[in-house]
Amino acid sequence: MGKKSTDNKGNVAVLLSGRGSNFVSILQYSRREKSNFNVSLVISDNEASQGLKRARQEGLLALFVNPAAFSDRFGFETEICRHLIAHQIRLVCLAGYMRIVGKTLLNQFPEQILNIHPSLLPAFPGLNAQKQALDWGVRVSGCTVHFVDSGTDSGPIILQKAVPIFNEDDVDALSARILAEEHRIYPLAISLYFSGHLTKQGRRVKINQ
Ligand code: GRF
């Protein structure tokens, strides 16, 4: 897992739809001296997204791919794949990307697409994970970085981090506590991916030191 480019750093593309705070944490980590990956490309399906704007301010190649310009998901994802291939992307990181990933992307990038989800999967997949956790009454929630498969937030898990839930928590308070951990574990998972220390047996991802 994790072939690198000729400068010996893995080329990462970030796909996002909104705010882009995970993208920023990934970018900042990638700019550390000893990082083993570059953010080479940002793609958004939302022209107005904060994340796309920020990527351009950071001087990155940041593309809007308009879903409305394609008659189906195949056409839309084929266009995304064209950009990913042209820029020799080795890992695709979904960061608040609000679309289901289809067969076209999955087949082109097998085991090369990661996602971050704001719960301890397999609990609370899908939308509004923080509200789901509060409504259920769990004492602990957190975040998960996982490989993307054809299901919803169902792929093999790379890293997780737990956070406590307190009596006075509302969705905003819990989301903020989880987000701070998302910003830590997503770059770490990417770094592990390119370190060559990850191996996968069935659903189980092992971190070999
Ligand atoms: C995060 O909570 C992430 O877990 C979920 O979408 C949100 C994206 O936030 N997949 P941001 O755009 O990275 O700030």
**CATH code of the domain covering residue 28:** 3.40.50.170
Asked whether the predicted pLDDT for residue 112 surpasses 60, the reply is: yes
Cα 65 from Cα 21, distance rounded (Å): 20
Residue 125 covered by a domain: yes
Judged by DSSP in three states, 20 sits in: coil
* Ligand 1 centroid – CA 6 distance (Å): 31
Residue 139 covered by a domain: yes
Residue 90 domain boundaries? 10-207
Residue 61 covered by a domain: yes
* Ligand 1 centroid – CA 114 distance (Å): 13
CA-based R_g, the chain, Å: 17
What is residue 209's predicted lDDT score, i.e. its pLDDT? 80
Cα 111 from Cα 99, distance rounded (Å): 18
Question: Distance of CA 173 to CAs 160, 164, 166, 176, 177, Å?
Answer: 19, 11, 9, 5, 6
The closest-lying atom of ligand 1 relative to the alpha carbon of residue 178 is 2
Cα 77 from Cα 104, distance rounded (Å): 6
* Ligand 1 centroid – CA 9 distance (Å): 25
Alpha-helical (H) ranges within 67-164 are 73-86, 103-108, 129-136
What is residue 168's predicted lDDT score, i.e. its pLDDT? 98
Closest C-alpha to ligand 1, atom 9: 96
5, 89 Cβ separation under 8 angstroms: no
**pLDDT tens digits, one per residue of 34-82:** 999 999 999 999 999 999 999 999 999 999 999 999 999 999 999 999 9
Strand order in the sheet with 157-164: 62-64, 37-44, 10-16, 91-94, 113-117, 140-147, 157-164
User: The pTM is what?
Assistant: 0.96
Q: What is the pLDDT confidence band of residue 8, given thresholds at 50, 70 and 90? A: confident
Q: What is the pLDDT confidence band of residue 6, given thresholds at 50, 70 and 90? A: low
117 in catalytic set: yes
